[in-house]
Amino acid sequence: MSPDATSLVPGGELRDDLPFKPVRIAVITISDTRSLETDTSGLLLSKRVQADGHVLVERKVVKDDVGAIRAAVLALVDGGAADVILTTGGTGLTGRDVTPEAIEPLFDKRIEGFSTIFHLVSYEMVGLSTLQSRALAGLIKGVFVFCMPGSNGACKDAWDKIIRWQLDSRHMPCNMVELMPRLREHEAHDCP
């Protein structure tokens, strides 16, 4: 391809003349029944993150507990090690599914489009069963947080068809990587 070549990808195009910028990503599996050894969805996401050229900064399993989930997410946000946090699990409708309740109150801004696009993609795969998911995304202190269901299929679809493209600095007409330097601009203007 020529230096300014492009290739069509979901929702846009990939510009070969732009540099790829790796993003630091953490994966948190939320489950009462999984360990790192039995966590297939977190492993799937971790492998995809690395295969797409990003840096996996942490992978962990956290219990379905609002306090534990918040503590794990805030430790990554406040520690500054991750640009993006991917969570898997706890977005359903059962009594133990508390990921949205734990994370949504932490959002500075919600990314409504992720939930919408996730449901469109999910509908193609599982039909009306997508109604049982409360997938969501938002920003916490300049860190992107994507909360996906715990199934391997849902994680695969969310990463392969949505997130990976928005975390690729070559994706046009726009991507989330280009926003990262400006996510905390308001803090520079806030007075104590």
Domain of 60: which CATH number?
3.40.980.10
Q: Are 23 and 174 in contact (CB under 8 A)?
A: no
Q: What total of structural domains would you count in the chain?
A: 1
Residue 89: give the domain boundaries.
Answer: 19-183
Three-class SS state of 136: strand
Query: Is 14 contained in some domain?
Result: no
Q: State the CB neighbour count (10 A cutoff) for residue 120.
A: 12
Query: Is 102 contained in some domain?
Result: yes
Q: Is the pLDDT of residue 189 over 60?
A: no
Query: Is 122 contained in some domain?
Result: yes
Residues forming beta bridges with residue 109, ordered by sequence position: 139
Q: Are 149 and 89 in contact (CB under 8 A)?
A: yes
pTM of the model: 0.92
Q: What is the pLDDT of residue 188?
A: 55
Query: Is 48 contained in some domain?
Result: yes
For the chain, the average pLDDT equals 92
What does DSSP say about strands 84-88 and 24-30: parallel, antiparallel, or unpaired?
A: parallel
Q: What angle do CA 10, 15, 17 make, to 5 degrees?
A: 170
Query: Is 12 contained in some domain?
Result: no
